[in-house]
Structure 1
Amino acid sequence: MNPDYGDCKFCLKLKDHSENRCEFSEVIAKCQEWVASLKGRMPEDVLIQCQTGSFMLSGNQTMVVIVGMEGSGKSSIISGLNGRGVILKNEEMHRDFKCKYVTLRTNEKKAMTFSFIEPRGVENMLTGLSIADCAIIVIDSTQGYPINNIVDSEDNIVDPASLAVSMGLKTLICCVNKMDVVGYSQTVYNQLRDGAITYFKSIGIEESNVTFVPVSAQTGDGLLDKSEEMAWYEGLTLIGQLHTLDRESRTSRRLRLVVDSTEVKGTVVLIRCRVHYGILLSGRRVVFCPGNWAVYVDKMRVGGLEVKYAWPGEAVELEVKGPVNEMMEQGCVGAAIIDDKLKVAMGIEVEILVTNSKVEVTTGLQGYLCSCHKASFPVIVSQIKESVDAATRIRNKDTPTSLKIGQIGVVSLTPLVEVVVETVSDYMSLGRIIFCKEEEEKKDVVAVGVVVDVDHTELPKLNMEQLNLGKPVRIK
């Protein structure tokens, strides 16, 4: 039975290959070669289908974190969006990030892939916000936005809007859910919308950066199609709003990988990492830092299948020739040797929002830990440079001695180990931080924010002749 190719140009291009029963990996390789030949002009997403399976190439995959009060209908909204898409993944993530993780490919004229993250708990919400491209805040129309309930029982800030904007997410989508329960009332919707806008302005979010969508996850109103019950609403549906997102183009950027783990198997070194920016090609020379490891990518696999190219958002396993005595650690960052230079951060300037009522941020060695992408490293607060007005996000000229809960400040950090971070303006997913304090084997989140400046030290130049057919080389 032949697959349904639809209007997909890629699938039509590969039709002969699949009818000739070639291996699925060959189909993927052929398609990837064709995509690479486009040199940045590839469509948004492509679903490759053949008789032995399907494979998604995501030229631009959007990570969406969906947050809100318990019982507001977050899971129901994700399920409702599946009415016009293909769920590619729906799984519980590993133990250190307990949440629902769903990947949805929509079948609109402008095909897009969305990975929805529904975190459980405050710390997991912070992790979700740190890797997201967009945040959906779900408001229960029967409860309203919890403006008077933005702190938890221990007086720590748990308001998703405050945390989102502090981590660089300037654009928010607010779903006013359960509209069926309030009789699809325009009056109720307007009251909730106006109250939320007033609050958002007080924390530095402009009205133009917030989109409100009335929906009913239970009935499907407003998710995929216009609702006859809410004819008064003239805006787009939720899926329509997602399609209007001005997403950062990751494929056209310089290559950035982040290491998750490494393993030695005989003479082969396996590096498990995720592509954040750029396109990774098999046979490419890559340098990982810190550690200054230069490697030749002999083979690579995505989802257990050997591929020649890996795209932003994909978890990839690299096979390089080894062995090496020292292994690169989680949080190492990789880049292409031929066109880029990684730099170790000697000093980091961050803008943070203090979220913990029990800890004040002060200068000195206070047991602080900083988490950025996959890296976690100890730091010294060398200086609190300025405070920042929460409503306007304008820096004040004062130099505070400490920062308390709810206060925003610009802080200089000195890493105590080698680490690679980027500014949020250069590489957003590599420039968001979670600031913690470790005491008596307990780690508490103190603040969240973004990297605004980095004092870099460049790596020494590499003699390309040192790189002998892929054996990992330590750059001295």
Structure 2
Amino acid sequence: MDILRFATAGSVDDGKSTLIGRLLFDSKAIFEDQLEAVERTSRDRGTEYTDLSLLTDGLRAEREQGITIDVAYRYFATPKRKFIIADTPGHIQYTRNMVTGASTADLAIILIDARKGVLEQSRRHAFLTTLLRVPHLVLAVNKMDLVDYSEARFDEIREEFTAFASKLNASDLTFIPISALHGDNVVSRSENMPWYEGSSLLHHLEHVHIASDRNLVDVRFPVQYVIRPHSATSQELHDYRGYAGQVAGGVLKPGDEVLHLPSGLTTTIAAIDTFDGPVEEAFPPMSVTLRLSDDIDISRGDMICRPNNQPQAAQEIDAMISWMADGVKLQPRSKLIIKHTTRTARALVRDLHYRLDVNTLHRDESATSLGLNEIGRVSLRTTQPLFVDDYARNRLTGGFILIDEATNGTVGAGMIVDAH
């Protein structure tokens, strides 16, 4: 069974946490004691129904305010697929949390309140999911019960959002009318909306095709760790040298010719080992250990690729940056640490080209800094070459984070647009 990672997004009170609670409840993915605790809390609050949003809103502050602050991760499975859910916040001041949750997602569900329609925050989250290159986008029009399950209202919202999405790079867009509170079109088709001919949300999640979303053409293997069991008792294990990491692109097989960066030396793959034993091929997102035919000086941060298909070795990088630091701003001449795949280097902010208004998509070229939750295009220079691809080509080798040298805290997330 494969794994689908999906994130939920939308404005405050659009029902994201209730939707996830409904998915978990109707797919029998919660324990009896969890359900009893939720029912008890619901009674204590005086609500006439079981508030399923409490299954994900775990922080006390969230329960008191009825909002989601942190990114809450939940796991469940059906006979067809395993799922990892990232329930992300709706408030504008928690945009950085939404970026974190969506950065590894295969699919994003953007909820819209059928009464309110497409709001500013709906547009913001739609833009962010396309900026982060989330391959599949589902617009779930929630609270259809509060508009009498009106087909006309659903069509109106769909047309408005489609017009906005035409400005974005949204490759796969699906619209589903739902009521998370009552379960309409969440796990099973709703009898209240006979005019809707599509599938339920869970059916769509189970069958959306994600295998072709990953880059299986460009072989990229960032080395994370060199395995040398010096304390091994047998001679065979004592001579073992393997290079562990996660396959970031392409397909690797024993006998394939590969090239090591930065040395430029070529060799072949002798074997591919996993925790469960040797395998005949490795592909994203598998974590494996490569054994090579020749002894090459390889260390953490190096890259293994194909001789005729190499990433760019770049020290000059143009990227879209989502700034996540509170109290400190990104400005030209700022010095930071950049972490790209398994390689870490120092970086200097050479220029801030523009700040992007994610609501209007307007570029403010007069901007001199980026503050908390702001996004802009920046030029960086690194102290050593990074082996990169454009983010549009490979999210793993095209993405990076920025770290404050003084506090060691993550202050920004970047998506490479150009490198030279």
Q: Decide which moves more: 368-377 or 301-310.
A: 368-377
Cα distance in 2, alignment partners of residues 259 and 192 from structure 1: 49
CA-to-aligned-CA distance 1:11-67 (integer Å, 9 cap, x gap): xxxxxxxxxxxxxxxxxxxxxxxxxxxxxxxxxxxxxxxxxxxxx5x7xx7643345
Equivalent position amino acid for 1:343 in 2: Q
Q: Which position in structure 2 is the counterpart of 1:336?
A: 306
The number of residues matched between the two structures is 361
Residue deviations 1:134-157, cap 9 Å, x none?
22235688999996799xxxxxxx
Q: Is 1:359 matched up with 2:344? A: no
* Counterpart mapping for 1:422-441 below 5 A: 422-439=389-406, 441=407
Match of 1:411 in 2: 378
Supply the distance in 2 between the matched residues of 1:314 and 1:336 (Cα, whole angstroms): 18
Report if aligned partners of 1:424, 1:451 keep a CA contact under 8 Å in 2. yes
Q: Which amino acid aligns with 2:242?
A: L
Query: Which residue number corresponds to residue 110 of structure 1?
Result: none
Listed as ranges, the matches of 1:94-105 within 5 Å are: 99-100=73-74
Give the deviation of 1:412 after TM superposition: 0.9
**Structure 1 residues 374-453: aligned runs within 5 Å:** 374-388=342-356, 390-391=358-359, 393=361, 398=365, 400-405=367-372, 407-439=374-406, 441-446=407-412, 448-453=413-418
CA distance in 1, matches of 2:239, 2:156: 61
Q: In the alignment, which residue of structure 1 is the partner of 2:255? A: 283
Give the share of equivalent positions with the same residue, in percent. Answer: 22
Q: Rate the CA distance shift 1:391–1:208 in 2: closer, same or farther, 3 A.
A: farther
Question: Distance in 2 between the 1:256 and 1:132 partners?
Answer: 20
SS at match of 2:388: coil
Give the root-mean-square deviation of aligned CA atoms.
4.6
Aligned partners of 1:203, 1:360: CA distance in 2, in Å?
Answer: 32
Q: Judge conservation of contact 2:325–2:372 (CA < 8 Å) in 1.
A: yes
Contact map agreement 1:75 1:118 (CA 8 A) in 2: no
After superposition, the Cα gap between the structure-2 partners of 1:134 and 1:374, relative to the gap in structure 1 and judged at 3 Å, is farther
CA apart distance, 1:203: 12
Partners of 2:310 and 2:160 lie apart in 1 by 43
| Structure 1 residues 103 and 412: alpha-carbon distance in aligned structure 2, compared to 1, 3 A threshold | farther
Give the TM-score normalised by structure 1.
0.60
Taking the TM superposition and a 5 Å limit, the aligned residue runs for 1:34-433 are 63-67=5-9, 71-74=17-20, 76-77=22-23, 80=26, 99-100=73-74, 106=80, 116-118=84-86, 126-138=99-111, 160-161=125-126, 163-169=128-134, 171-176=136-141, 182=145, 185-186=148-149, 190=153, 194=157, 201=164, 205=168, 210-215=173-178, 221-239=184-202, 241-242=204-205, 243=207, 248-250=212-214, 252-265=216-229, 266-290=238-262, 294=266, 296-320=268-292, 328-329=299-300, 331-337=301-307, 339-356=308-325, 358-364=327-333, 366-388=334-356, 390-391=358-359, 393=361, 398=365, 400-405=367-372, 407-433=374-400
CA contact 2:224–2:342 (8 Å) conserved in 1: yes
Once the two structures are TM-superposed, the CA of residue 452 in structure 1 deviates from its matched residue by 0.9
Range with bigger deviation, 197-206 or 309-318: 197-206
Residue 290 and residue 132 in structure 1: after superposition, are their counterparts in 2 closer, same or farther (change >3 A)? farther
> Structure 1 residues 279, 340: closer, same or farther in 2, change over 3 A?
same
Check the 8 A contact 2:110/2:122 in 1, yes or no: no
Provide Cα deviations, 1:102-126, integer angstroms capped at 9, x if missing partner: 67673xxxxxx66534267877754
Q: How many angstroms does 1:207 deviate by?
A: 9.1
- Tell me the distance in 1 between the aligned counterparts of 2:78 and 2:380: 39
Report the CA distance shift for 1:412/1:207 in structure 2 as closer, same or farther (over 3 A).
Answer: closer
1:422 Cα shift? Answer: 0.8
Question: Distance in 1 between the 2:179 and 2:342 partners?
Answer: 36
Distance 1:300 1:212, change over 3 A: same
Partner amino acid, structure 1, of 2:389? E
Separation in 2, partners of 1:367, 1:166: 25
Which amino acid in the other structure matches residue 411 of structure 2?
V
CA contact (8 A) 1:78 1:116 kept: no
**Is there any run of 5+ residues in structure 2 with no aligned partner, and where?**
30-70, 230-237
* Residues in 2 aligned to 1:64 and 1:209: alpha-carbon distance in whole angstroms: 14
Structure 1 residues 161 and 169: CA distance shift in structure 2, 3 A: same
Contact 1:98/1:124 (<8 A) preserved = no
| Letter of the structure 1 residue corresponding to residue 305 of structure 2 | A
Amino acid at match of 1:308: E
* Range 238-247 or range 426-435, more displaced: 238-247
CA distance in 1, matches of 2:128, 2:331: 21
Counterpart of 1:429 in 2: which secondary structure? coil
Mark the CA change 1:436 to 1:176 in structure 2 (over 3 Å): closer, same or farther.
Answer: farther
Structure richer in strand, relative to its length: 1
Quote the offset at 1:281 in angstroms.
Answer: 0.5
1:308 to partner: Cα distance: 0.6
Distance 1:172 1:74 in 2: 16
CA shift in 2, pair 1:145/1:411, >3 Å: same
Shift of 1:438: 4.0
Q: 3-state SS of the aligned residue for 2:358?
A: coil
Shift of 1:413: 0.8
Structure 1 contact 288–334 (Cα < 8 Å) conserved? yes
Q: Any idea what SS the aligned residue of 1:420 has?
A: strand
Residue by residue over 1:357-411, the C-alpha shift from the partner in whole angstroms, topping out at 9 and shown as x without a partner, is 53332111x2323344454443111112344453564656x45433345654321
Counterpart of 1:382, as a letter, is: R
Contact 2:316 2:419 in 1 (8 A): yes
Indicate if the aligned counterparts of 2:250 and 2:283 stay in contact, CA closer than 8 A. Answer: yes
Deviation at 1:434, TM superposition (A): 3.6
Contact 2:135 2:213 in 1 (8 A): no
Q: Deviations along 1:400-442, whole A, 9 cap, x unmatched? A: 4333456543211111233212102322332234444343x24
Report Cα offsets for 1:224-283 as digits up to 9, x if no partner. Answer: 542213324344322454445687454651222233433212321232222232211023
Of 129-138 and 412-421, more deviation after overlay is shown by: 129-138
Question: Separation in 2 of the partners of 1:258 and 1:163?
Answer: 27
- d(CA) in 1 for partners of 2:240 and 2:414? 39
Contact 1:267 1:322 in 2 (8 A): no
Deviation at 1:355? 4.8
